[in-house]
Amino acid sequence: MFEPHHYLKLPRMVAAKYYVGFVDGEAVCHMAASPRLEIGGMRACRMVVMPEWQGAGVGMRFLNEVCRLQFTDANKFADRTKAVYFHTSHPGLCAALRRDKRWIQVSQMMGGGHKGKSAQSCIASRKGKIITMNSQAAGYGGHQRAVQGFKMTKARADV
């Protein structure tokens, strides 16, 4: 139900827990959180707020609550979670995250990545497998989507 409103068409995230927010029984927002234990954190992503609810503040409240939960027993990796990371390209959401004391901006890429380099990396990682990839179609990047990264730490989660 949320997929048509997300800009990426990707398979389900590995080891993710999915959250859906409801208002008066109506599903209005969605997000997933998956472990990134090699960096001591969780990754919150694939947030979708249904179009008729965008701009009402529901998405930011939902994001903050889901990320706060990652530091509690609701997350089986809570004892290993030092931060929750979230990336977005939505200018309004980026501005709201910068204003919110719970979030720290940690990265920004204001232009697209090199698609050719990414394609070569994809091909190299599949070497020896029976997978055929057209190097022109493979890879990520090459788009002009500005992506900004933010993190919430346990100390800031309840601000």
62-110: pLDDT as tens digits:
999 999 999 999 999 999 999 999 999 888 999 999 999 999 999 988 7
The CA-atom distances, in angstroms, between 151 and each of 77, 114, 119 are 17, 25, 29
Question: How many folded domains does the chain comprise?
Answer: 1
| Predicted pLDDT at 56 | 87
138: in domain: no
130: in domain: no
68: in domain: yes
125: in domain: no
The encoded tokens of residue 102 equal 């719970």
61: in domain: yes
| C-alpha span between 132 and 151 (Å, rounded) | 37
pLDDT band at 20 (very low <50, low <70, confident <90, very high): very high
56: in domain: yes
93: in domain: yes
Angle, alpha carbons 99-111-93 (nearest 5°): 25
